Structure 1
Amino acid sequence: MMPGQAFECSLHYSSQWGMEVFLLFLLVPFVACLGGDLDVPSNVANRSMAIRGTLLCGSKGMKGATVRLFRVYQKDAIDDLSQLLDQKHTLETGYFQLEGTTAKFPTTQTEIDPFVTIHHNCDMDERQTANMGYKRWAIRLPQDYVTTGVKARKVYDFGRVNLQLQYPGEMHDKKFSFND
Structure 2
Amino acid sequence: MRFILALLALICFANCADVALRSVSVKGTLLCGKEPYGNAHVRLYRVSSKDDHEILEQKQTLSNGEFRLEGSTQGRPANETTMTPVVRIYHKCDEEPDKDTYRRFQLQIPSIYVTRSRVSRNEYDIGKINLQLIYPREESGIRLGS
Give the shorter-chain TM-score range.
0.7 to 0.9
Separation of aligned partners in 1, 2:21 and 2:139: 33
Give unpaired runs (5+ residues) of structure 1.
1-37
2:38 to 63, 72, 75: 63
Give unpaired runs (5+ residues) of structure 2.
1-12
Preserved CA contact (<8 Å) 1:42 1:103: no
2:61 to 80, 86, 90: 90
> 1:107 corresponds to which letter in structure 2?
A
Separation of aligned partners in 2, 1:56 and 1:153: 27
**Does the alignment pair 1:123 with 2:100?**
no
Separation of aligned partners in 2, 1:113 and 1:66: 20
Task: Decide which moves more: 103-112 or 57-66.
Answer: 103-112
Q: Residue in 2 aligned with 1:168? A: 136
Q: Residue in 2 aligned with 1:139? A: 107
Task: Decide which moves more: 106-115 or 90-99.
Answer: 106-115
Q: TM-score of the superposition, structure 1-length normalised?
A: 0.67
Preserved CA contact (<8 Å) 1:114 1:140: yes
**Does the alignment pair 1:72 with 2:47?**
yes
Preserved CA contact (<8 Å) 1:70 1:114: yes
Residue 105 of structure 1 and its aligned partner are, at CA, apart by 2.0
RCO greater where, 1 or 2, for CA within 8 Å and sep 6 or more? 2
Runs of 4+ in 1 over 6 A off after TM superposition: none
Calculate percent identity across the aligned residue pairs. Answer: 41
Separation of aligned partners in 2, 1:109 and 1:166: 34
Separation of aligned partners in 1, 2:80 and 2:115: 15
Separation of aligned partners in 2, 1:105 and 1:172: 33
> Greater strand share, 1 or 2?
2
Separation of aligned partners in 2, 1:74 and 1:54: 28
Q: Residue in 2 aligned with 1:149? A: 117
Q: TM-score of the superposition, structure 2-length normalised?
A: 0.82
Preserved CA contact (<8 Å) 1:73 1:115: no
> 1:124 corresponds to which letter in structure 2?
E
Q: RMSD of aligned C-alpha atoms?
A: 2.2
Instruction: For 1:8-47, list aligned pairs within 5 A.
Output: 41-47=16-22
Q: Deviations over 1:135-160 (max 9, x none)?
A: 01012110000001110000001000
**Does the alignment pair 1:53 with 2:28?**
yes
Please state whether the residue corresponding to 2:78 is helix, strand or coil.
coil
Residue 40 of structure 1 and its aligned partner are, at CA, apart by 6.6
> 2:103 corresponds to which letter in structure 1?
K
Separation of aligned partners in 1, 2:48 and 2:140: 19
Change (3 A) 1:125 1:173: closer
Q: Which has the larger radius of gyration?
A: 1
Please state whether the residue corresponding to 2:80 is helix, strand or coil.
coil
Aligned residues: 134
